[in-house]
Amino acid sequence: MNLLFESFAQLIGRAPRKPTKEEIKPAAQKIHFYKRGEKLDREEARALHAAHKSNKWRNRRWVTLIAINLLFVVSYKLDIQLLEGALTASRFLGFHMADLNSSLQVTLAFKEILLNLVIGTVTILLLWLLLGGRTFCSWVCPYHLVAELAEKIHVKLVDSKIIKGYDFHRGVRTFLYILFALLALVTSYTVFEFFSPTGILSRALIYGPGLALVWVGALLLFEVFVSRRAWCRYVCPIGMTYGLVGLFSPMRLVYDLDGCQHEGECRKVCEVPHVLEPVIKGRATDRSVPIGADCTRCGLCIDTCPTGSLRFEVKGLSKLL
């Protein structure tokens, strides 16, 4: 229950909390004791990283994301009615599916519950409950892919000292989540859909580009020159909605304390590094710690971890390959 509460607190914007000694289990305390004072040589860390570095999960994710979005395009262009609509609302082989955040917006705006919307929402809820909430963000959302490429440019510019990256308080996302919900309720219109790069890109891919892409371009420029992954980290209510679902998901990322050298490569590549607080030396409360619900399950940390201390797992079953 403590882990669930901590995961929820981080999801709504609270900074990770350093665990007390009483919260750290004896087995973990023993490992922390033996690791205390140890420091991995920088050259050793680089050698470890170079030997292990992989793009396995990134490649799987990119292929999945591109394939899903192309399926929408092909279905529309060839009129085969396999996957109709867009990511906000669609039908797969005639069965309704509806994005959870879009469904919330529509319900608040129209102030009634539509049967097809209920069917579509329950379908998607069960799907992402099984797969792990924010998995949608990194494995399906088209904006995530282009933002990931923009992030690479941002990191190079910061490393070259051409620009300085800025961070914002993650609680802004909670405020905007409530604001968009209230706007839908008061205006009777799904205001957020005007600004959602997920919906804009999905519709642009399927039905053709429009002026709304100017907004997406502006977001990307902001993320390149001002703040790394700003939309996904500090704004997007879609990610927060799926994060709430992920609180109860059996699919999760797990950190193993035993072999970790705490070199920090995983946190450098993570879109939401606050979820990887347990990998910092002395912070893990147990030998095996599930990572919080704000994790997008992108797999970049697994690909970059030189000691294999991070892995996917289905709760109660076994780790994934």
pLDDT, block means (10 residues), the chain with 321 residues: 86 92 90 77 62 85 97 93 90 88 93 85 93 94 97 96 95 97 96 95 95 97 98 96 94 93 90 95 94 96 92 80 56
pTM: 0.92
Residues in the chain: 321
Q: Tell me what pLDDT residue 22 has.
A: 86
Q: DSSP assignment of 3-44, as one string?
A: HHHHHHHHHTTPPP-PPPGGGS-HHHHHHHHHHTT----HHH
Beta-carbon count within 10 A of 47 CB: 12
CA 228 to chain centre: 14
Give me the phi and psi of 90, to 5 degrees please. -155, 175
* CATH 3.30.70, applies to 22-52+250-314: yes
For the chain, how long is the longest CA-to-CA vector?
64
Vertex 7 angle, CA 16 and 137, to 5°: 105
How many whole angstroms separate alpha carbon 36 and alpha carbon 150?
Answer: 38
How many whole angstroms separate alpha carbon 63 and alpha carbon 68?
Answer: 9
Domain with CATH 3.30.70 in the chain: 22-52+250-314
Q: Tell me what pLDDT residue 172 has.
A: 96
Q: Tell me what pLDDT residue 45 has.
A: 61
How many whole angstroms separate alpha carbon 10 and alpha carbon 64?
Answer: 28
CA 11 to chain centre: 11
